[in-house]
Copies of this chain bind each other. A is one copy, B any other.
Amino acid sequence: MTSIASLRQPGGAGALRLGPLNSVSLRDQAYALLKEAIANTDIYSERELLRLDERELMQALGVSRTPVREALSLLEQEGFVRTVPRRGIFIVRKSKREIIEMIQVWAALESMSARLATLHAPDAEIGELRHLFDEFQNSPPSEHLDEYSDANIAFHQAIIRLGGSQLIEDATHNLFLHVRAIRRATISQNNRAARSIIEHLKIIEALERRDTELAERLTRQHTLDLAAHVDRYCDFLD
C-alpha cells in the first residue's frame, strides 16, 4: 500500500538527504565553468587580447547577468581575469616575473608540505609515491613525455597532500592551474624529464627516511630550479 512515507516529497526533511543535489547556486556553476574554460585556454599561444563579454556568457550559460558577474568577480580576485571599467573583461596573461613568483610560492609551500609529511604522513602513503613512476622505470620518460608530465604534476600534488594542510592544498590549487602549463611546456627542454625523475626519487627517499631537513631542501631546490629554468629559457613569456 501507499504509505505516508512513500508519498513523502523530496523536499521533506526525511531520510533521503538530497540536499546537495538540488541547489548548487548558479553563481558557483558559472564560476566553475568559466574557470575550467580559462584553465583550458592556452593563453600563452594566442597573441591578441582575450576579452570576455558578459552578455555573451550570460546567453551561453542561459542565466542572467547577476550570477555571471558574481562569478567573474571571484575570478578577478583570483587573478584569472581583469575587468577594466567600460572597456571589458580580459583574461590575464601572467608576466614572466609573475610566473616566477608563483613558482617560488609553490616551492615554499611544497617544501613546507614535505617537511610536514616527514613528521606526520603514514609510511604507507609515502610509499605510494613510488608507484607514480613505476611505468617509467624501464623505459626513459623522454619516450612518453605527455604521460610523464602528468605523473610529474601528480607527484607534486601528492607531496602537498601528504603534508596534511588543507590550507596549503587550497592555496596551491590556483597556482597549480598556472604552473601546470609551465611544467608541461618545459618538461621537454634540456633533458629535464630525466633529471627530474632522479630528483623525485631522492625526495621520496628522504621522505621515507623521515629526514625532515633533507626532504624539505630537496623539494624546495627542485622547484626553484624550475623557476631558474623559466627565468633563463622561457622568453616566449612577456
Count copies of this chain in the complex: 2
Please state if B116 and A112 are interface contacts (CB–CB under 8 Å): no
Chain B residues within 8 Å of A107, by CB: 112
Across the two chains, which residue of chain B brings its CB closest to A164? B101
Give complex CA distance A118, B166 in Å.
Answer: 30
Which A residues from 106 to 125 make CB contacts under 8 A with B?
107-109, 111-112, 116
Whether a CB of chain B sits under 8 angstroms from the CB of A98 is yes
Q: Which of A69, A108, A112, A168 has the most CB of B within 10 A?
A: A108
Tell me what chain A mostly uses at the interface: helix, strand, loop, or mixed.
helix
Which residues of A in the span 145-159 have a Cβ within 8 Å of any Cβ on B? none
A58 interface hit (Cβ, 8 Å):
no
In angstroms, Cα B77 to Cα A111, docked, is 25
Q: Is A73 an interface residue (CB 8 A)?
A: yes
Query: Are the CB atoms of B167 and A23 closer together than 8 Å?
Result: no
Q: Does A188 contact B (CB under 8 A)?
A: no
CA distance A116 to B78 in the complex (A): 24
CA distance A69 to B69 in the complex (A): 11
Judge whether A38 is part of the interface by a CB distance below 8 angstroms. no
Contacts of A101 in B (CB 8 A): 165-168
Asked if A132 is at the interface (CB within 8 A of a chain B CB), the reply is no
Q: How far is it, in angstroms, between the C-alpha of A70 and the C-alpha of B75 when the chains are bound?
A: 12
Instruction: Tell me, yes or no, whether A45 is within 8 Å of chain B by CB.
Output: no
Q: Which residue of B lies closest to A69 (CB)?
A: B70
Name the residue of chain B whose CB is nearest to the CB of A74.
B77
The one of B77, B102, B165 that contacts A77, using a Cβ cutoff of 8 Å: B77
Write the residues of chain A forming the contact surface with B, with a CB cutoff of 8 angstroms: 23, 25, 27, 69-70, 73-74, 77-78, 85, 98, 101-102, 104-105, 107-109, 111-112, 116, 165-168, 171
Extra contacts, 20 of them, besides A70-B70, A98-B167, A109-B109 (Cβ < 8 A), are A25-B85, A27-B73, A69-B70, A70-B73, A73-B74, A74-B74, A74-B77, A77-B77, A98-B166, A101-B166, A101-B168, A104-B165, A104-B168, A105-B109, A105-B112, A105-B165, A105-B171, A107-B112, A108-B168, A171-B171
